[in-house]
Amino acid sequence: MSAIPNTAAPVLEPVLEIEHVAVHFGGLVAVADMNFAVHEGEVVSLIGPNGAGKTTAFNVITGFLRPTKGRIRYRGTVLTGLRPHEVADLGVVRTFQKTSVFDTNTVFENILIGLHRRGRCTAWETLLGLPRVRAEEKRLREEAVEILEFVGIARRASELGGALPYGEQRLLEVAVALAARPSLLLLDEPVSGMNPAETSSFMRLLARIRARNITVLLVEHDMRMVMGVSDRVVVLNHGKIIAEGPPAAIQQNPEVIRAYLGHGVRGEGAKRA
Amino acid sequence: MDQLLQHLLNTLILGGTYALLGIGLTLIFGIMKVVNFTHGELYAFGAYMMFFFAMVLGLDFFATLVIAVILGVALGALIEITLLRPLRGANIDTTMLVMIGAWIVMQNTEQLVWSGIAKSINTPFPVEPLVLGPVSVSWVRVFVFVVAVLLILGAQLLIHRTKLGKAMRATFQDRDTAALMGVNINFVYTATFALGSGLAAAAGALLGPVFVVTPTMGNLAALKAFAIVILGGLGNIKGATIGGFILAFVEEMGAGYVSSGYRDAMGFLLIIIVLLFKPTGLFARAERIG
Amino acid sequence: MKTALLCLWLAVLLTVPLWLTDLYFLHILITTGIFTIAAMSLNLLLGFTGQLSLGHVAFFGIGAYTSALLSLGFDLQLTESYRFAVAPKPVWLAFLAGIVVAGFFGWVIGRISFKVRGAYFVIVTISFAEVVRLVALNWVDLTEGPMALSAIPPFTFGIPGLWEETIYKKQPNYYLVLGVAILSYLVIRRLVLSRVGRAMIALRENEPLATSVGIDVTRYLILAAVVSAAIAGAAGGLYAHYVRIIDPDIFLFIYTVTMVIMVITGGKGTLAGPIVGGLIFGILPVVLRSFAGPEIQWIIYGAFMILIVFFLPDGIVPAIRSWWEGRVGPLAEPEPAELSNARPAERQAE
C-alpha cells in the first residue's frame, strides 16, 4: 500500500493494528479501507487534508464509533465493539479535536477525574469510609500533583478548567488523558491554535511523554510538529491511506504533495484546508 | 366484531385530536429544542376561552372556536417573547424548568379564575348520535374530527408551502446556517411557538364541548402529548400524527379489552417500552452523522 | 469557622422540640424535614449527575406504599386458585423494605436512562411516575385506590419482647426524621466527595471526556439512581408512618415539582442547597397560608422557579458562598463543586 518502505522501528511488535477498517455513514464513506499498525514506543502521525477521516479513525479506535467493516486490535485484544471506557481500561486514551476539559471544575479536579482508573475502591467501601478509601484518596492527590508538575500547569491547580488560557487548556487536556495512565495516547490536533513558542514547548513535552514508554498516535496539521516528532507518518486522503513512511520520505512523496495540492507538506506552510 | 368496529371508529375520532395535540408540541421541540410544559395549559386555555365566549358571553359556537384559537396563538407568542427569548442559547434543562414554572402559574391561575368546578359547553349539534350500521358516533365528535384533520392539513400546508414554513424548515435543519442565510430566527421561534400553542388551544376548544372543562384537564393532555411525540420521535411531524393514532388505538383497545381504569396508563407504558427498544421514537429520522 | 457553624446548626436542630412547644410548628418542621430528605435525594441525580429526573415522587410514593402495606399486611387473590397474603410486619422491617423496593425501581430507571438522555429521560421519568400513580389508583385490592390506606401503624422503638415504645407524639417523630435526614446527608456527602462523586460530576460536565478516561458513566448513573431512589423511599416511609394515611395523590407531579424547586432554589449540585431550599419551601406555606389560598401559593412557587432560573441560576447557596468569600475569605471546607482546590502546597508541607 505505501509507496515508501517502512524503515522505522522494524523489529518491534505492533501494539495497535488497524485491519481493513471502513466506516460508512449512510451513503457517505468516511473511511474506505484503513490498514496500519503502530509499534511499541513509536510516535506515529496521521495526517491528511480535512475530511480525510482522521478524527473518524480516532473515534473508531476509541469506541466512540463502530466500524462498518474491519477489525482493530490492541496488544492482541480486539477493540471493535468495546465501549469507550472499556477501551480506556485497556490503556488506549484519546484527546478531542475541539478543546474538551471539565470547564466548571478546577484544574486539580480535572486531573483527579482523569485518575478515575487509578482508584479501586468500590461505592460500598466509600460509603463505609474505610481507611483504604482515605489512603487511596491521598495517593490519587499525590499522583495528581505529580501529573500537573509533569505537564507544567501546577501553578494553575486551583483555577477553573474553563478559565485557563487556550494553550494551557490544551495542556490540561493532555494532563487529564495522562492521568488515565495510557500506554497508547491518541492526540487529536493538540497544538492547533497554539503559537509557535507554545508548540515548541509542546514538542518537548511530547518527548518526555515518550520517555515514559507511552506510544503516541497523533493527528496534526502543523507540519513542523509532525515532521519534528514522528517516527512514521501515515497519510490519509478520502478515507484511504495513500502513503506511509518516515517523515523525510513522506515530504518527497509526489502523491502526498498532490493530495495537499499546493499547500505543501514542507515546513509550516501547511495550512488548514 | 361490532364492538371492535366501534373501538376502531373511536380510535379514528380520538386519534385526530391526539395528532393535533402532538403536532404542536413536536413542532416546538423540533425547531426550538424546548420541551413545552405549558402545552397542556394552552389546551386548557382554549377550552376555557370556548366556555367564556360561548357560555358566559353567549357568542356563536363557531365564531368562538376561531377566537379561542387566535387567543391561543397570542398567548403562545407572549410566552415565547417573555420567557423563552431571554433564554436563547440556554441548555434544554434550563428552559424546561422555566416552562414547568409557567405551567404551574397558568394552571393555578385558571383554578383561581374559574374555580375548581367543572364547566360544560353546549354545542349546536344534535344530541342523537350518527348511526352507521352497527356503530355510532356523536355529531360533535364528527365535527371535532373533521376540524382536527383540516387543522393538521393546514399546518402541513403552512410548513411546506409558505415562506414562513420554509424558514421554519431551514431553522429545523440547521439554526446557525439558517441565520447566516438571513432567516430571522427570533421571528421563526415566536411564530413556531405561537403556531404550536394555537394548535393546542384548538384541541382544547374542540374537546372542551365533548368532555368537561376543568383546571387540571391540561395535565393529562400534556402527558399524552408527550407520549404521542415520543412515539413519533421528537421533532417529527408525520411521526406525531401517526403517534396520535397509535396512542388512541392503544388506549381504546386497552380500555376495551384490559381495564378501563388503566386507559391512561397504556400510553405511558407504551412510551417506556418504545424508549427501551427504540430510544429515538418509532419514526425518528437518522440523526446527524459524519 | 465552618465547623463552629455546623455545631451551632446541629445544636439548634437538636434542641428544637425543647423550645418549640407549639405542636403545629413542630408538625410543619417534621413534614419539612421529610421533604428535605426527598429533595436531598433528588439533588444526587439532578445536581450531581445532571439528569433531570421528573418522576422522583414515584420513589417517594413507592417507599410510602411499600412500607405502609407491609406494616398493615395484605391479602391478594391473584388468580382463582392463588392467593398471596402477607401478615403485618414490624414497622422498622416494612420501612427498610420500602427503601429496598424504591431502590430497585431506581435501578430500573437507571437502566432505562442508559439509553436515553435529555428530553427523553425527562419524559420517561414523568411517564414512570404517572404509571405508578395509576396503578396505585386502580389496583384497589392492594392499595384501596382512592379510598386511601389508613390506620398505618406508627414507628415503634425498642427491643422486641423486652420493651417497646410506639411513637405517636410529635417530638420523637421529629428526632426520627432528623436522624434519617442526617444519615442521608452523610451518605450523600460521602459519595459526592469521593472518586465516585467525581465520576458523577464528570458525567454531568462532559460525558464524552469522562468515558474517554475510562469512567463507566452508565454504572455511576445507575448507582446514583439507586441511592437517590432508596433515600426518597426512606422519606416516603417516614411520611407514611407519620401521617398514617396515604392515597394515590402522593404520586402527583406537583410534589416532584416541589422537590425540584427546593433543589434549584437552594443550589443544585451543592450539599447544603436542598437543605436551604427545603427549609424555605417547607416553611413558606405557613407564612403564605395566613393571607393566600393554595392557588396563590402555587402561583408564587411557579413564579419563584422562573425567577430563580432567570436571576439566580446556581441557587442561593453558591450565591451566598461567593458573597461570603468576597468579604471574608475562602471557607475552610470546600463544597464538591470546587472540591479540593488542589492544595498542592499542603501536600508539600506534609
User: Which residue does chain B place closest to C110, by CA atoms?
Assistant: B276
Domain assignment present for B161: yes
Q: What amino acid is encoded at B185 in this protein?
A: I
Q: With cut-offs at 50, 70 and 90, classify the pLDDT of residue C172.
A: confident
Q: Give the residue extent of every domain in chain C.
A: 28-259+267-272
Give the contacts of B256 (CB within 8 A, at least 6 positions apart).
Answer: B3, B7
Backbone angles phi, psi at B89, to 5 degrees: 90, -10
Query: Cell numbers of C138, please?
Result: 386502580
Given a cut of 80, is residue C262 above it in pLDDT? yes
Query: Do residues C199 and C215 lie in contact, with contact meaning Cβ atoms separated by under 8 Å?
Result: yes
Nearest C-alpha of chain A: how many angstroms from C27?
31
Q: Are residues A250 and A147 in the same domain?
A: no
Given a cut of 60, is residue A263 above it in pLDDT? no
Q: Looking at chain B from residue 2 to 21, which residues have their Cβ under 8 Å from any Cβ of chain A?
A: none
Asked if C214's CB is within 8 angstroms of A93's CB, the reply is yes
Q: Are residues A154 and A222 in the same domain?
A: no
Of A100, A123, A133, the CB nearest to C209: A100
Q: With cut-offs at 50, 70 and 90, classify the pLDDT of residue A45.
A: very high
Nearest residue to B24 via CA among B196, B254, B155: B196
> How far are the Cα atoms of B277, C117, C127 from residue B282, in angstroms, in the given order?
9, 17, 17
Of C199, C338, C344, the CB nearest to A116: C199
Number of domains chain B is built from: 1
Given a cut of 60, is residue C195 above it in pLDDT? yes
Q: Are residues A236 and A154 in the same domain?
A: no
d(Cα A198, Cα A194) in Å, to the nearest integer? 6
Between strands A184-188 and A69-74, the pairing is unpaired
pLDDT tens for each residue of A138-179:
999 999 999 999 998 889 888 898 889 988 899 999 999 999
Of C54, C293, C303, the CB nearest to B105: C303
d(Cα B71, Cα B105) in Å, to the nearest integer? 18
d(Cα A115, Cα A88) in Å, to the nearest integer? 12
Query: Do residues C239 and C64 lie in contact, with contact meaning Cβ atoms separated by under 8 Å?
Result: yes
Of A102, A136, A145, the CB nearest to C347: A145
Average pLDDT over residues A37-43: 90
Given a cut of 50, is residue C116 above it in pLDDT? yes
d(Cα A138, Cα C346) in Å, to the nearest integer? 12
User: Which residue does chain C place closest to A141, by CA atoms?
Assistant: C342
Give the contacts of C79 (CB within 8 A, at least 6 positions apart).
Answer: none
Residue, of C157 and A94, whose pLDDT is higher: A94
Q: Looking at chain C from residue 277 to 296, which residues have their Cβ under 8 Å from any Cβ of chain B?
A: 293, 295-296
Nearest C-alpha of chain B: how many angstroms from A119?
32
Mean pLDDT of chain A: 85
Domain boundary among A143, A163, A183: A163
For residue A267, the model assigns a pLDDT of: 43
Give yes or no for B289 touching A (CB within 8 A).
yes
User: Which string of b and e fits C212-224 if b means at least 16 CB within 10 Å?
Assistant: bbbbbbbebbbbb
Backbone angles phi, psi at B10, to 5 degrees: -60, -40
Given a cut of 80, is residue A252 above it in pLDDT? yes
Nearest residue to C258 via CA among C241, C278, C231: C278
Q: Looking at chain B from residue 249 to 288, which residues have their Cβ under 8 Å from any Cβ of chain A?
A: 286
Give the sheet arrangement for strand A14-25, strand by strand.
Answer: A77-78, A69-74, A14-25, A28-39, A240-245, A232-237, A43-47, A215-219, A184-188, A92-94
Domain assignment present for A173: yes
Q: List the single best residue of C206, C212, C228 to mutate versus A (max A Cβ within 10 A).
A: C212
For chain B, list the contacting chains (3+ Cβ pairs, <8 Å). A, C
User: In residues, how long is chain C?
Assistant: 350
Contact list in C for residue B282 (CB cut-off 8 A) is none
Contact list in C for residue B103 (CB cut-off 8 A) is 302
Q: With cut-offs at 50, 70 and 90, classify the pLDDT of residue A93.
A: very high
d(Cα B103, Cα B222) in Å, to the nearest integer? 10
Domain assignment present for A229: yes
Q: Are residues A158 and A242 in the same domain?
A: no
Domain assignment present for A90: yes
Contact list in B for residue C54 (CB cut-off 8 A) is 100
Of C206, C215, C344, the CB nearest to A157: C344
What residue numbers bound the domain in which B32 lies?
A: 20-218
Contact list in C for residue A137 (CB cut-off 8 A) is 194-195
Nearest C-alpha of chain B: how many angstroms from A76?
29
Q: What angle do CA B32, B72, B214 make, to 5 degrees?
A: 110
- Helices C253-266 & C294-311, crossing angle to 10 degrees? 40
Nearest residue to B190 via CA among B63, B45, B58, B78: B78
Q: Which residue has 485491519 as its cell numbers? A: A19
Asked if B109's CB is within 8 angstroms of C305's CB, the reply is no
Query: Do residues A115 and A140 lie in contact, with contact meaning Cβ atoms separated by under 8 Å?
Result: yes
Q: Are residues A216 and A158 in the same domain?
A: no
Q: Where are the alpha helices (DSSP H) in B33-91?
A: 39-50, 61-79
The DSSP H or E segment spanning A93 is strand A92-94
d(Cα C236, Cα C66) in Å, to the nearest integer? 9
Provide Rg for chain C, Cα atoms. Answer: 21
Query: Do residues A174 and A124 lie in contact, with contact meaning Cβ atoms separated by under 8 Å?
Result: no
Between strands A14-25 and A69-74, the pairing is antiparallel
**SS3 at position A39:** strand
What residue numbers bound the domain in which A138 lies?
A: 102-163
Asked if C201's CB is within 8 angstroms of A142's CB, the reply is no
Number of domains chain A is built from: 2
Nearest C-alpha of chain B: how many angstroms from A26?
8
Q: With cut-offs at 50, 70 and 90, classify the pLDDT of residue C339.
A: very low
> How far are the Cα atoms of B160, B175, B183, B189 from residue B180, in angstroms, in the given order?
21, 9, 7, 16
**SS3 at position A70:** strand
For residue C18, the model assigns a pLDDT of: 78
Following DSSP, what letter does each residue of C115-164 receive, concatenated?
Answer: T--HHHHHHHHHHHHHHHHHHHHH-HHHH-GGG-B--PPPPEEEETTTEE
Q: With cut-offs at 50, 70 and 90, classify the pLDDT of residue A203.
A: very high
Q: Where are the alpha helices (DSSP H) in chain C?
A: 2-19, 23-43, 56-72, 91-113, 118-138, 140-143, 170-192, 195-205, 207-212, 217-243, 253-266, 273-289, 294-311, 316-327, 344-349
Domain assignment present for A9: no
Query: Cell numbers of C323, please?
Result: 458573597
Nearest C-alpha of chain B: how many angstroms from C176?
33
pLDDT tens for each residue of C75-91:
877 777 787 878 788 88
Beta bridge partners of A241: A236
pLDDT tens for each residue of C214-240:
999 889 999 999 999 999 999 999 999
Contact list in A for residue B289 (CB cut-off 8 A) is 25-26, 28
User: Which residue does chain B place closest to A51, by CA atoms?
Assistant: B290
For residue C350, the model assigns a pLDDT of: 33
Given a cut of 80, is residue C337 above it in pLDDT? no
For residue B284, the model assigns a pLDDT of: 55
Domain boundary among A147, A163, A179: A163
- Helices B139-161 & B2-32, crossing angle to 10 degrees? 30
Residue, of C18 and C45, whose pLDDT is higher: C45
Give yes or no for A28 touching B (CB within 8 A).
yes
For residue C164, the model assigns a pLDDT of: 67
Percent of chain C whose pLDDT exceeds 90? 35
Provide Rg for chain B, Cα atoms. Answer: 19
Asked if B104's CB is within 8 angstroms of C305's CB, the reply is yes
Query: Cell numbers of C281, please?
Result: 419551601
Nearest residue to B130 via CA among B257, B16, B9, B225: B9
Asked if A104's CB is within 8 angstroms of C212's CB, the reply is no
Contact list in C for residue A123 (CB cut-off 8 A) is 191, 196, 223
Given a cut of 50, is residue C342 above it in pLDDT? no
Query: Do residues B171 and B183 lie in contact, with contact meaning Cβ atoms separated by under 8 Å?
Result: yes
Give yes or no for A25 touching B (CB within 8 A).
yes
Contact list in C for residue A126 (CB cut-off 8 A) is 190-191, 194-196
Backbone angles phi, psi at C59, to 5 degrees: -70, -40
Contact list in A for residue C211 (CB cut-off 8 A) is 83-85, 88
d(Cα C44, Cα C269) in Å, to the nearest integer? 7
Give yes or no for A26 touching B (CB within 8 A).
yes
pLDDT tens for each residue of A59-86:
999 999 888 889 999 998 999 889 999 9
Nearest C-alpha of chain C: how many angstroms from A161?
11
Going through chain B in order, the beta strands assigned E by DSSP cover: 130-132, 135-137
Measure the CA dihedral B151/B154/B160/B165, to 10°.
-80
Average pLDDT over residues A104-109: 91
The DSSP H or E segment spanning B231 is helix B217-232
Reduced DSSP (H G I as helix, E B as strand, rest coil) percent helix, strand, coil of chain B, to 5: 75, 5, 20
Q: With cut-offs at 50, 70 and 90, classify the pLDDT of residue A261.
A: low
Give the contacts of A224 (CB within 8 A, at least 6 positions apart).
Answer: A199, A267, A268
User: Which residue does chain C place closest to A89, by CA atoms?
Assistant: C214
Given a cut of 70, is residue C44 above it in pLDDT? yes
Interface of C with A (CB under 8 A): 187, 190-191, 194-196, 198-199, 201-202, 205-206, 208-217, 223, 337-344, 347
Given a cut of 50, is residue A129 above it in pLDDT? yes
d(Cα C41, Cα C224) in Å, to the nearest integer? 9
Provide Rg for chain A, Cα atoms. Answer: 19
User: Which residue does chain B place closest to C131, by CA atoms?
Assistant: B265
Query: Do residues B214 and C121 lie in contact, with contact meaning Cβ atoms separated by under 8 Å?
Result: no
Complex-level ipTM: 0.85
Contact list in B for residue C299 (CB cut-off 8 A) is 104-105, 108-109, 112
Reduced DSSP (H G I as helix, E B as strand, rest coil) percent helix, strand, coil of chain A, to 5: 40, 25, 35
Q: What amino acid is encoded at C101 in this protein?
A: V
Q: What amino acid is encoded at B287 in this protein?
A: E
Give the contacts of A164 (CB within 8 A, at least 6 positions apart).
Answer: A101, A107, A153, A156, A172
Asked if A116's CB is within 8 angstroms of C213's CB, the reply is yes
Nearest C-alpha of chain C: how many angstroms from A61?
11
Contact list in A for residue B290 (CB cut-off 8 A) is 25, 28, 30
Nearest C-alpha of chain B: how many angstroms from A230?
28
Domain assignment present for B92: yes
User: Which residue does chain A place closest to C207, by CA atoms?
Assistant: A102
pLDDT in tens for each of the 290 residues of chain B? 778 888 888 888 889 889 999 999 988 988 888 889 999 999 999 999 999 998 888 888 888 999 999 999 999 999 999 999 998 878 888 898 999 999 999 999 998 998 888 888 888 888 788 888 788 888 888 888 999 999 989 988 888 888 888 888 888 888 888 888 888 888 989 999 999 999 999 999 998 888 888 888 888 888 888 888 888 877 778 888 888 998 889 888 888 787 777 777 777 777 777 777 776 666 655 333 22
Backbone angles phi, psi at A188, to 5 degrees: -100, 100
pLDDT tens for each residue of A12-38:
678 999 999 998 887 788 888 888 889
Nearest C-alpha of chain A: how many angstroms from B84?
25
Query: Cell numbers of C227, please?
Result: 441511592
User: Which residue does chain A place closest to B288, by CA atoms?
Assistant: A25
Beta bridge partners of A36: A18
Q: Are residues A195 and A120 in the same domain?
A: no
Sign, Cα dihedral of A244, A250, A255, A257? positive
Average pLDDT over residues C227-255: 91
For residue B43, the model assigns a pLDDT of: 94
Q: What angle do CA C181, C183, C184 make, to 5 degrees?
A: 65
Domain assignment present for B252: no
